[in-house]
């Protein structure tokens, strides 16, 4: 039997022209399950348990990491990666951002010139979604061809379409972490600890590159997941993109109250419940717009489901059907812990 480590090296390299020829070798070592949707290629239908352990266990953290974008996500990555012993270089869009990032200790070196990324083993694109999907040609040209490149965008299908052909070691990924803050002042320690970090590899994804991104995510304390890009975008629409719009709609409804005295009192009485419910709706407007524009079908599907649920609640209240209303609220009370 060929040793598992050798099989993995074959998979991660270019020695096998056809991935399907590895199936039998992997089955010699690993338990596997067949995913129900048979339209997926064979290599995506096999989930081998041995590979994840070996890849994670043998992949060292990169010595030098480049961060493109130094807002909440990029700045937080810079702080935590330095704490792990990585040397961190940053690329900022404006000089004032670069200066402030250095003052705050988000990075150890910074420039507005993407050539500063030369020599980095890993480059993380922590850019606004629209800039990620319409990348600066100078940035693309400056990326080291032997580096691993990943992103943090909240939409993965469009990102793969853009970046899959731009860099040979690109890994699409998405850390599910954030606050309502943005910009160079927003970065903070331990943002990713205990949070999901999902990768969406495709058939051409370099497995060694994927292993490096996984090693970084785990070192930062994140819970590592792998999913198809389409599934990711559908799921994230439900638990992230739609809540932004629902929260915004609630804020708009409250803010449109026509009685000035009621509105003034509502402002005084608003407390933790209202703050929790509306936090994401009061966040970055550009991000919310980009999520809806780049994940439109899934967002509209989620909004339709939400509208139907809201109508059911409204109908129960109109009909004074308190038993039905309480039944729904009991169901949602039991449902919430499944997502938190």
CATH number at residue 274: 1.10.3660.10
User: What pLDDT score was predicted for residue 20?
Assistant: 42
Domain of residue 53, residue span: 4-57
Same domain, 177 and 69: yes
User: Is the distance from CB of 106 to CB of 90 less than 8 angstroms?
Assistant: yes
Same domain, 43 and 75: no
Same domain, 70 and 196: yes
- Count, residues in the chain: 340
- Using the 3D structure, point to which of 156, 178, 200 is the last residue of a domain: 200
Residues 15, 19: Cα–Cα separation, whole Å: 10
Same domain, 14 and 104: no
Q: With respect to residue 109, please indicate whether it lies within any of the assigned structural domains.
A: yes
Residue in this structure with the two tokens 């003052």, named with its chain if needed: 103
- Here the CATH number for the domain that contains residue 73 is 3.40.50.720
Nearest CA to 120 among 105, 139, 136? Answer: 139
Name the domain count of the chain.
3
User: What pLDDT score was predicted for residue 59?
Assistant: 79
User: What pLDDT score was predicted for residue 179?
Assistant: 85
Q: With respect to residue 224, please indicate whether it lies within any of the assigned structural domains.
A: no
Residues 113, 270: Cα–Cα separation, whole Å: 45
Per-residue pLDDT in tens (0 to 9) along the chain, 340 residues: 334 444 444 444 433 334 444 444 344 334 333 333 334 443 343 333 333 333 445 578 999 999 999 999 999 999 999 999 999 999 999 999 999 999 999 999 999 999 999 999 999 999 999 999 999 999 999 999 999 999 999 999 999 999 999 999 999 999 999 887 899 999 999 999 999 999 999 999 999 999 999 999 999 999 999 999 999 999 999 999 999 999 999 999 999 999 999 999 999 999 999 999 999 998 889 989 999 999 999 999 999 999 999 999 999 999 999 999 999 999 999 999 999 8
Query: How many beta carbons lie within 10 A of that of residue 192, not counting itself?
Result: 22
Q: With respect to residue 208, please indicate whether it lies within any of the assigned structural domains.
A: no
Same domain, 87 and 160: yes
Helix (H, G, I), strand (E, B) or coil at 282: helix
User: What pLDDT score was predicted for residue 244?
Assistant: 96
Residues 73, 187: Cα–Cα separation, whole Å: 7
Helix (H) or strand (E) holding 291: helix 285-294
User: 64-68 and 87-91: which strand pairing?
Assistant: parallel
Same domain, 99 and 33: no
What burial class does residue 23 get, using C-beta atoms within 10 Å of its C-beta: 0-12 exposed, 13-18 middle, 19+ buried? Answer: middle
Same domain, 94 and 171: yes
pTM score of the predicted model: 0.80
Q: Is the dihedral of CA 81, 86, 91, 92 positive or negative?
A: positive
48-57: Cβ within 8 A, 24+ apart? 50/4, 51/8, 51/11, 51/26, 52/214, 54/4, 54/5, 54/8, 55/8, 55/207, 55/210, 55/211, 55/214, 56/211, 56/214, 56/215, 56/218
Same domain, 191 and 295: no
Same domain, 38 and 78: no
Same domain, 253 and 290: yes
């Amino acid at each position: 039997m060929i040793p598992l480590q050798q099989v993995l090296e074959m998979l991660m390299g270019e020695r096998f022209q056809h991935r399907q020829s590895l199936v039998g070798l992997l089955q010699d070592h690993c338990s596997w399950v067949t995913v129900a949707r048979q339209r997926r290629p064979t290599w995506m239908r096999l989930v081998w348990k041995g590979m994840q352990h070996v890849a994670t266990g043998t992949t060292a953290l990169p010595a030098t990491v480049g961060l493109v974008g130094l807002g909440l996500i990029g700045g937080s990555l810079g702080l935590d990666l330095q704490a792990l012993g990585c040397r961190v270089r940053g690329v900022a869009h404006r000089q004032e951002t670069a200066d402030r990032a250095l003052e705050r200790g988000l990075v150890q070196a910074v420039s507005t010139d993407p050539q500063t990324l030369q020599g980095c083993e890993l480059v993380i694109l922590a850019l606004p979604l629209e800039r990620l999907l319409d990348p600066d040609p100078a940035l693309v040209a400056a990326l080291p061809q032997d580096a691993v490149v990943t992103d943090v965008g909240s939409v993965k299908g469009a990102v793969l379409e853009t970046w899959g052909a731009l860099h040979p070691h690109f890994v699409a990924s998405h850390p599910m972490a954030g606050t309502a803050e943005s910009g160079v002042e927003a970065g903070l320690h331990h943002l990713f600890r205990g949070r999901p970090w999902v990768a969406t590899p495709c058939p051409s994804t370099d497995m060694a590159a994927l292993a490096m991104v996984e090693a970084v995510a785990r070192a930062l304390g994140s819970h590592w997941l792998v999913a198809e890009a389409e599934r990711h975008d559908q799921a994230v629409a439900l638990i992230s993109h739609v809540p932004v719009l629902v929260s915004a709609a609630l804020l708009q409804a409250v803010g449109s109250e026509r009685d000035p005295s009621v509105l003034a009192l509502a402002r005084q009485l608003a407390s933790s419940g209202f703050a929790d419910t509306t936090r994401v709706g009061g966040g970055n407007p550009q991000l919310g717009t980009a999520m809806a524009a780049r994940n439109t079908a899934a967002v509209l599907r989620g909004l339709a489901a939400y509208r139907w649920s809201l109508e059911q609640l409204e109908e129960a209240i109109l009909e004074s059907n308190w038993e039905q209303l309480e039944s729904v609220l009991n169901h949602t009370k039991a449902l919430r812990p499944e997502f938190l």
